[in-house]
Amino acid sequence: MSILQHLKQKKSLTQLVVVTNGSVSLEKYVQSLNYITNLTISLHLEQNNKTVDRTIEKIVALTKLKKAWINVNLMVLPKSLTKIKKIIKIFQQNKVKFVLIKIDPPVENVLNKIKKGDTQKILKAEEKYLQNKLDIKTKYHTNLEQRHEEYYTKEELQFIENFEQQNQWKNIKLHQEDKIMEMNTSDLVAKKLNKWQGWQCYIGIDSLYIQHDGTIFRGNCMQGNIIGKIGSNINWPKTPIKCPIEVCVCNADMPIRKVKESKYEYLIHNKKENNV
């Protein structure tokens, strides 16, 4: 809580957003609403029913307080459609803002998972942590659509795609040849519109992604190489990069400015077309 108090004192602060899995006590969440502007809770159904029910209760209670923007990422676990529908009904009855989120299939080999207390493996993993994470990020974006089709049933995918997101908020604008669309990034993913490979992307200019060890990347996708480390020289990006990945899946990276061709740059720079 002291960190939130410190950040709140910054005069330049306009938004203070916290993303959580809902595991903190209701009392602490209520206290945090004195400092934050947005609270996003990801509801994971891999947990036992008692934990899930307790988290739902906290979500409903926090929503009723109306002290900050509360929204939920309802993570759609395969083979849990019946449970998902029950939760949706509860959220609708209590006017909870939520979106359905597809879980991206794991790319790690479960046999390589390190057990708690295995010091030698932990030390080895730390040595290769960054490279391993970069490798996983690359695999994470590869053939994602096909992997989703293997991970979910057709019924589950159809339900996610056709579900009209409830009380959704618009956090992204897309300019197409004949229209402008404003939508939520989760709806964008459901409609398979999150494909900008080859476009110029402004990660590193509109955003930064900092690892736990202070290593800095342009964005959560970790594309464009390391740009520096906290406490040392940072090579601040001045130009966008050409997106190398098949799909953009991070809710932090998707709203970042992107443009397919230079003739459309006026759309992302708030300039008139004849001034380009």
**Is the pLDDT assigned to residue 263 strictly greater than 90?**
no
For residue 116 the two structure tokens come to 């708690």
The strand pairing partners of 228, in sequence order, are 216, 234
Domain-wise residue ranges, the chain: 1-103, 171-276
Which pLDDT does position 131 carry in this prediction? 75
| For the chain, percent of residues with pLDDT exceeding 90 | 41
Which pLDDT does position 271 carry in this prediction? 53
Which pLDDT does position 275 carry in this prediction? 36
Question: Residues 73-84: pLDDT tens digits?
Answer: 999 999 999 999
Phi, psi of 182 (to 5 degrees): -115, 130
CA–centroid distance for 169 within its chain: 15
Question: Residues 126-166: pLDDT tens digits?
Answer: 777 777 777 777 777 778 888 888 999 999 998 988 886 65
pLDDT-based confidence at residue 53 (cuts at 50, 70, 90): very high
Which pLDDT does position 274 carry in this prediction? 39
Which pLDDT does position 109 carry in this prediction? 63
Are 267 and 234 in contact by the 8 Å Cβ rule? The answer is no
Which pLDDT does position 16 carry in this prediction? 82
d(CA 33, CA 70): 10
Which pLDDT does position 276 carry in this prediction? 33
pLDDT-based confidence at residue 112 (cuts at 50, 70, 90): low
Provide mean pLDDT across the span 199-207: 91
Mean pLDDT is lowest, of 50-64, 104-118, 223-237, for 104-118
Which pLDDT does position 270 carry in this prediction? 63
Provide mean pLDDT across the span 197-225: 90
Mean pLDDT is lowest, of 53-67, 106-120, 127-141, 233-247, for 106-120
Q: How far is CA 65 from CA 34, 58, 96, 176, in A?
A: 12, 11, 12, 39
DSSP at 264: G
| For the chain, percent of residues with pLDDT exceeding 70 | 91
d(CA 257, CA 202): 5
Q: What own/partner pairs with CB < 8 Å and gap ≥ 24 does 145-148 have?
A: 145/192, 145/247, 147/104, 147/105, 148/102, 148/104, 148/105
Which pLDDT does position 84 carry in this prediction? 96
SS3 assignment, position 151? helix
Mean pLDDT, all residues of the chain: 85
Are 159 and 81 in contact by the 8 Å Cβ rule? The answer is yes
Q: Give helix 81-93 / helix 154-162 axis angle, nearest 10°.
A: 20
Closest by CA to 253, choosing from 189, 158, 164, is 189
Are 63 and 70 in contact by the 8 Å Cβ rule? The answer is yes
Q: Where are the alpha helices (DSSP H) in 94-229?
A: 119-127, 129-140, 144-151, 154-162, 185-190
